[in-house]
């Protein structure tokens, strides 16, 4: 985020340099890497050159020197100067080094100072507090620049960070004098049209399964009506500390769209169907409409540039002036020359790079290099990159300052909200069962908590949408397994829907499920072999033409274009782009159909050749599900075959273990061999490794070591794995860890609550955890009620959307002593007065400033 309250170097430098001792007055190693700032500041020590009173006066000068358009009312200047002086004074008490400060950058360094003086600004009004925070970022920017100029070592060891800070100084100086430059009249006119086109193009979302084949039925719905804010969690311990955690207190979970606040570069991981693309759409539409929430105020005024990787994966990352052409935007030919480059040069870009996993693994390193160069040349633009969890290794873009977030599985309240929104959208279609939609909704809401298979599947929007559609199609009778769900979906969309809705003469082509599915499988398989996510119209027609003679039921039904249009309009599984290229509505659908065709063709060697590549994982799993026993053994045996080393070998063996849950019949020898060869791989030595085991699934639980015979550190890593396996058997495993004293372990066990049946987990895990020092997270009303039934707890962490009335009713008032807000309640905190023993309010620093906190309650961040 740019500092919005600016000071030009000419006025800031003479003041900021007074905060540090002269170079000749610092110890001999002051120029060495890693010197404590506490030893460099001029206002600490036995006889400091700068007294606190002088520091207070200096802070007053900094406040008064801001540009007139940004200046505070006179009565606010003195209080803000006092808070600024106290915040800068804390530099003399922290163990932060000059290297760490420069590495953090101005915004994060300012945040670390602010969090070290909790509650210092509680007496400021919101406008004055906002001004203080932005001015502090500017002062930190000039301070870091001064550190770099006086220490060649810093500049030599961190050239990119030093270059970036110098760029920010230059930008700050320009804008302090004349403000952000306005675009030219031609650019402004185009940007207005472009914004309207983005809002129109991306404000539609297809909820899988509801896009009915009836041509009079809408195939998508307003993003405004159906957007569901999911949750995200931070990946690294450093980021968890920044988010308000401390390594012993668990990971805060925030709304995914709000979690982006305060970041400039983010790599967002999420499983297929988890909502990554929908989040990208929401950001693009909200930015285009200038309707972003306050937490994302730093993104206002930016131009959304949506870059689906599938559009340019083969050609490489486009140059700025090729952005619109690469994604085939309808206004690409009308953009003024050099427009996109000017947007990025002026740091007004909102880069949304969706689906790194859509590029073949062999090409991702090149894409990363191109993206890194782009971000270095055009630093200062916001950039969000999305990927499936295992598509790229941890810290893939960390060197470029990208923070990592991961979309969390939907909790029960989010699932209920999605199901409710889905049925509300369905009420606008042409169906004849609208009077029964409420019954279907209520029956489904009651069924999901009861059935483990459904509960395990209903964790992301894709699967929730599919479950809703099948529940409606079958009047409340649902299949439970993943393969069975997709089989039922194929039957619904490819065979039963048209006849049952009397859509018999929509076109001249009459194909039943078998022929439709075979042709769709051919298209999906072609995309798989070519490692692409779309085909041009010419390629799709050529593929259909090649296979029509082998499908007798298509004879006399029309030419390849007639058949293609029938598949496009009647199945709901294909989607045509403005340039007439074609893709499947979701990558998971493509993977399912391609896997079935690969098994049909006996292409096992091809599958095995790519089995270690992340984008083939779902294809391999579904191929095992479709394969006959001998074919299944061949596939699984091939995954264990020698010839691969390192990460490729490990990935293939873990994939073999993951495939066991999809097997219907397998010889005991192969099964035993998989268990034997993967048993020793499930003792992770890092947290990243522990998390990655979660994708393997329930089979891992059978191979994890006895939790009663491991150290606390290993027990914590095992808990990280087991809490990410959405299976009741995981509760039994975790119960064996519940009596340990380690706060880190207890925090992980508490965090895992949201992934399991609320009541059972509460009875077997939560009720047994030692509450000493432990914050118990509550993410939905079910958990809140369960905790109340247990008598409440002293320390509570709020990680879900509650109202004050919810918390006043659900929390045990005389029990609560510490409350941690990791979710924005968006209201003043005066209601906390109802808790007589509450002493501490902990607030995630990424959240907006809280107001109205009663006297006597300490605020921590």
Beta bridge pairs of residue 633: none
Q: Exposure of 768 by Cβ count < 10 A (0-12 exposed, 13-18 middle, 19+ buried)?
A: middle
Residue 58 pLDDT greater than 50, yes or no? yes
DSSP 8-state symbol, 270: -
Q: pLDDT tens digit string along 504-528?
A: 334 567 777 788 889 999 999 999 9
pTM of the model: 0.57
Pairing verdict, β 231-234 and 403-407? antiparallel
In whole angstroms, give the CA distance from residue 855 to residue 826.
20
Lowest mean per-residue pLDDT among 149-163, 377-391, 598-612, 816-830: 149-163
pLDDT band for position 169 (50/70/90)? confident
Q: What percent of the chain lies above the pLDDT cut of 90?
A: 26
Greatest mean pLDDT range, 158-162, 184-188, 493-497: 184-188
Dihedral pair phi/psi, residue 574, rounded to 5°: -110, 155
User: 355 in helix, strand or coil?
Assistant: coil
pLDDT score for 685:
82
Report the largest interatomic distance among the alpha carbons of the chain, rounded to a whole angstrom.
98
pLDDT band for position 24 (50/70/90)? low
Q: Which of 473, 560, 568 is nearest to 520 (CA)?
A: 568
pLDDT band for position 307 (50/70/90)? very high
- Do 460 and 271 form a contact (C-beta atoms < 8 A)? yes
Q: pLDDT tens digit string along 216-237?
A: 334 456 677 667 777 787 764 3
Neighbouring CB atoms inside 10 A of 69's CB total: 6
DSSP 8-state symbol, 412: H
pLDDT score for 236:
47
Cα 33 from chain centroid (whole Å)? 35
pLDDT score for 69:
53
pLDDT band for position 33 (50/70/90)? low
pLDDT band for position 451 (50/70/90)? low
Q: Exposure of 275 by Cβ count < 10 A (0-12 exposed, 13-18 middle, 19+ buried)?
A: buried
Q: How would you classify residue 45: left for phi > 0, otherwise alpha for psi between -120 and 50, otherwise beta?
A: left
- Do 725 and 698 form a contact (C-beta atoms < 8 A)? yes
Q: Which of 211, 232, 841 is nearest to 568 (CA)?
A: 211
Residue with tokens 């939790």: 707
pLDDT score for 198:
94
Lowest mean per-residue pLDDT among 158-172, 448-462, 660-674: 448-462
pLDDT score for 518:
92
Greatest mean pLDDT range, 491-505, 573-587, 611-625, 689-703: 611-625
Q: What does pLDDT average to over the chain?
A: 81
Beta bridge pairs of residue 674: none
- Do 712 and 742 form a contact (C-beta atoms < 8 A)? yes
Beta bridge pairs of residue 15: none
Stretch 316-322: mean pLDDT: 87
In whole angstroms, give the CA distance from residue 741 to residue 525.
53
Q: What is the dihedral of CA 644, 650, 655, 660, to 10 degrees?
A: 110
In whole angstroms, give the CA distance from residue 43 to residue 129.
24
Residue 293 pLDDT greater than 70, yes or no? yes
- Do 840 and 857 form a contact (C-beta atoms < 8 A)? yes
Q: Which of 398, 308, 316 is nearest to 362 (CA)?
A: 316
């Amino acid at each position: 985020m740019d500092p919005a309250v600016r000071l030009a170097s000419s006025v800031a430098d003479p003041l900021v340099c007074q905060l540090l001792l002269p170079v000749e007055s610092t110890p001999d190693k002051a120029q060495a890497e890693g010197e404590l700032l506490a030893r460099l500041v001029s206002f600490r020590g036995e006889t400091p050159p700068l007294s606190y009173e002088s520091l207070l006066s200096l802070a007053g000068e900094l406040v008064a020197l801001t540009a007139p358009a940004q200046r505070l009312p006179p009565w606010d200047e003195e209080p803000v100067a006092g808070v600024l002086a106290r915040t800068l004074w804390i530099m003399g008490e922290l163990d932060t080094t000059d290297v760490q400060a420069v590495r953090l950058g101005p915004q994060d360094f300012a945040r670390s100072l602010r969090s070290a003086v909790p509650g210092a600004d509680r007496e400021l009004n919101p406008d004055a507090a906002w001004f203080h925070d932005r001015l502090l970022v500017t002062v930190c920017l000039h301070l870091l620049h001064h550190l770099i100029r006086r220490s060649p070592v810093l500049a030599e060891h961190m050239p990119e960070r030093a270059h970036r800070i110098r760029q920010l100084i230059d930008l700050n100086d320009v804008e302090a004098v004349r403000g952000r430059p306005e675009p030219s009249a031609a650019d402004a006119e185009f940007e207005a049209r472009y914004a309207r086109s983005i809002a129109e193009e991306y404000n539609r979302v297809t909820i899988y399964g509801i896009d009915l084949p009836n041509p009079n039925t809408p195939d998508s719905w307003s993003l405004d009506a159906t957007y569901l804010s999911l949750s995200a969690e931070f990946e690294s311990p450093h980021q968890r500390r920044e988010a308000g955690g401390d390594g012993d207190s668990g990971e805060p979970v925030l709304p995914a769209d709000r979690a982006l606040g305060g970041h400039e570069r983010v790599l967002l991981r999420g499983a297929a169907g988890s909502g990554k693309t929908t989040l990208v759409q929401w950001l693009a539409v909200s930015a285009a409409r200038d309707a972003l929430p306050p937490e994302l105020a730093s993104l206002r005024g930016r131009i959304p540039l949506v870059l689906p990787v599938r559009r340019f994966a083969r050609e490489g990352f486009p140059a700025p002036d090729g952005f619109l052409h690469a994604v085939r935007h309808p206004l690409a030919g009308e953009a003024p020359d050099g427009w996109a480059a000017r947007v990025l040069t002026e740091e007004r870009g909102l880069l949304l790079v969706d689906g790194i996993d859509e590029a073949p693994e062999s090409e991702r390193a090149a894409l990363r290099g191109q993206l890194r160069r782009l971000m270095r040349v055009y630093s200062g633009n916001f950039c969000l990159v999305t990927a499936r969890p295992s598509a790229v290794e941890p810290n893939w873009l960390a060197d470029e300052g990208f923070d990592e977030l991961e979309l969390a599985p939907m909790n029960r309240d989010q699932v209920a909200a999605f199901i409710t929104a889905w049925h509300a959208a369905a009420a606008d279609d042409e169906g004849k069962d609208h009077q029964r939609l409420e019954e279907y909704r209520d029956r489904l809401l009651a069924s999901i908590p009861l059935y483990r298979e459904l509960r395990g599947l209903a964790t992301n929007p894709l699967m929730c949408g599919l479950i809703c559609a099948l529940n409606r199609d079958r009047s409340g009778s649902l299949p439970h397994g993943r393969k069975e769900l997709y089989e039922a979906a194929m039957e619904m969309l490819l065979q039963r829907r048209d006849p049952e809705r009397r859509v018999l003469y929509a076109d001249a082509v009459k194909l039943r499920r078998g022929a439709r599915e075979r042709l769709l499988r051919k298209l999906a398989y072609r995309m798989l072999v070519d490692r692409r996510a779309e085909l041009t119209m010419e390629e799709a027609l050529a593929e259909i033409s090649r296979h029509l003679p082998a499908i007798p039921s298509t004879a006399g039904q029309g030419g390849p274009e007639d058949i293609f249009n029938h598949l496009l309009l009647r199945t709901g599984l294909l989607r045509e782009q403005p340039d007439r290229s074609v893709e499947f509505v979701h990558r998971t659908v493509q993977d399912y159909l391609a896997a079935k065709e690969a098994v049909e063709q006996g292409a096992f060697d091809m599958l095995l050749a790519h089995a270690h590549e992340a984008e083939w994982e779902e294809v391999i799993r579904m191929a095992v599900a479709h394969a006959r026993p001998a074919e299944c053994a061949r596939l699984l045996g091939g995954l264990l075959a020698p010839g691969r080393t390192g990460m490729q070998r490990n990935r293939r063996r873990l994939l073999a273990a993951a495939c066991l849950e999809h097997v219907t019949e397998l010889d005991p020898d192969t099964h035993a061999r998989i268990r034997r060869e993967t048993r020793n791989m499930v003792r992770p030595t890092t947290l990243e490794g522990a998390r990655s085991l979660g994708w393997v699934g329930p089979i891992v639980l059978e191979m994890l070591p006895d939790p009663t015979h491991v150290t606390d550190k290993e027990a914590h890593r095992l808990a990280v794995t087991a809490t990410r396996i959405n299976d009741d058997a995981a509760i039994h495993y975790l119960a064996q860890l519940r009596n340990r004293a380690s706060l880190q372990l207890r925090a992980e066990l508490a965090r895992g609550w949201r992934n399991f049946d609320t009541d059972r987990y509460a009875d077997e895990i939560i009720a047994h955890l030692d509450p000493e020092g432990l914050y118990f997270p509550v993410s939905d009303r079910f958990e809140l009620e369960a905790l109340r039934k247990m008598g409440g707890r002293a320390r509570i962490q709020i990680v879900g959307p509650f109202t004050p009335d919810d918390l006043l009713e659900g929390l045990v008032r005389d029990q609560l002593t510490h409350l941690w807000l990791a979710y924005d309640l968006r209201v003043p905190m005066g209601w906390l007065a109802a808790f007589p023993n509450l002493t501490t309010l902990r607030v995630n620093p990424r959240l907006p400033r809280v107001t109205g906190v009663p006297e006597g309650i300490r605020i921590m961040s």
